[in-house]
Amino acid sequence: MTLSTSVNKRAMYGYLAAMIFCMVFSGIYEYFSHQVYSIYMIGLFLIPLLLGLVPAVLTAKGILTRGNMWTETLQQLGVGTMILASGLTGVFEIYGTRSAYTIWFWVAGVVLLAAAMICYMAFLAAGRRYSTGVE
C-alpha cells in the first residue's frame, strides 16, 4: 500500500466517522427535542457524505485525481464548517430562535469549498499528479 492509498483510506474513514457522528448526534438531539424537527438536523449527515465521502471514494476508485495538500485541507475545512453551520442552524431552529451569525458559517463554508475547487482545477490545469515525496 502506498502513502497515497493510506492517506485516501484515512480520509474515507474520517468522513465515514463524521457522517455516523452526525447521524447519531441529530437523532439523539431530535429525540429529546419534544417532537420538534429541523431539516438542517435531519440532513446533517448528508454534508460529510456528499462533500467528503463520495469524492474520497471516487478518488480511491481512480475516477477523480487526488489533489494537492491545499485542496484537501480546504475541502476538509469547508466540510467541517458546513457541518457546524447546519448543526447550529438546526439547534437554533429547534430551540425556536434565530441567530444572525449562522449565515456567516454558511458563507465561510461555501468560500472554503470554492477555494478548494479552484485549487483543484489549478492543480489539474498544471498537469501535475499527487506526489508522495518517496521515490
| Cβ 15 vs Cβ 52: under 8 Å | yes
- Residue-level pLDDT at 128: 61
Amino acid identity, position 61: K
Half-sphere exposure of 77 (CA within 13 A, CB side): 16
pLDDT at residue 25 is higher than 80: yes
Whole-structure pTM value: 0.85
- Residue-level pLDDT at 4: 60
Q: What are the pLDDT digits (tens) for 38-88?
A: 999 999 999 999 999 999 999 888 888 888 889 999 999 999 999 999 999
Between the alpha carbon of residue 29 and those of residues 11, 20, 106, the distances in Å are 26, 14, 21
- Residue 108, helix vs strand vs coil: helix
- Residue-level pLDDT at 130: 54
Mean pLDDT of the chain: 88
